[in-house]
Amino acid sequence: MKPLFVLFIVFVIGSLAILLYKGHLDYDLAGKIALAATLLFTSLGHIIYTKGMVLMLPDFIPLKKEIIYLTGVLEILAAFGVFVPSLSRLTGILLIVFFILILPANIRACIRHLNYETATYDGKGIEYLWFRIPFQLLLICWTYYFVLY
């Protein structure tokens, strides 16, 4: 839920700041800023909650901790990549693929009632998917609209 707040709050504040600075609205720039802020915010989770995020991955996957760190670094790189004209299209495509690929881990975490912040199994559970899946779809659509479109 926190990343959703980051996305929308930064979009509103970014839109207002752009309006004050440029004298007109630039929703594309505000959308990219909001997406970048959300990616930077979620990348922090890979560092702060590594132990819990490792538990999101199936047992057969090797190097779990390294994968969590790597995906956090990829989110940071993507946050900057959306602003580089020569990289933004590729970044957008790869972000959409990334959002699709991480969805099963999020579904698995919900089914197992994983609370990744505490690395315990007392999380919200399956009902959290009513938020998580639409949020993943929002991120995919947001990326498509503000980065690829």
Distances, alpha carbon 62 to alpha carbons 12, 54, 57, 65, 128, in Å: 41, 10, 9, 9, 27
User: For residue 16, what pLDDT is reported?
Assistant: 98
In the numeric block, the tokens 């972000």 are attached to 95
As a whole number of angstroms, the distance between CA 149 and CA 146 comes to: 6
Model confidence at 15, pLDDT cuts 50, 70, 90, reads very high
User: For residue 81, what pLDDT is reported?
Assistant: 98
Instruction: For residue range 23-49, list pLDDT tens digits in order.
Output: 999 999 999 999 999 999 999 999 999
User: For residue 68, what pLDDT is reported?
Assistant: 97
Both tokens assigned to 121: 């199994």
Q: Among 64, 75, 86, which residue's Cα sits nearest to residue 37?
A: 75
Which amino acid type is present at position 88?
S
Per cent of the chain over pLDDT 70 is 100
Model confidence at 141, pLDDT cuts 50, 70, 90, reads very high
User: For residue 79, what pLDDT is reported?
Assistant: 98
Give the DSSP letter string of the chain. -HHHHHHHHHHHHHHHHHHHHHSS--HHHHHHHHHHHHHHHHHHHHHHTHHHHHTTS-TT-S-HHHHHHHHHHHHHHHHHHTT-HHHHHHHHHHHHHHHHHHHHHHHHHHHTT-BTTTTBS-S--GGGHHHHHHHHHHHHHHHIIIII-
User: For residue 113, what pLDDT is reported?
Assistant: 95
User: For residue 118, what pLDDT is reported?
Assistant: 95
Instruction: For residue range 52-101, list pLDDT tens digits in order.
Output: 999 999 999 999 999 999 999 999 999 999 999 999 999 999 999 999 99
Per cent of the chain over pLDDT 90 is 94
Q: What's the whole-model pTM score? A: 0.94
Contact 31, 11 (CB under 8 A): yes
**Number of domains the chain is built from:** 1
Domain that holds residue 141: 2-148
User: For residue 90, what pLDDT is reported?
Assistant: 98
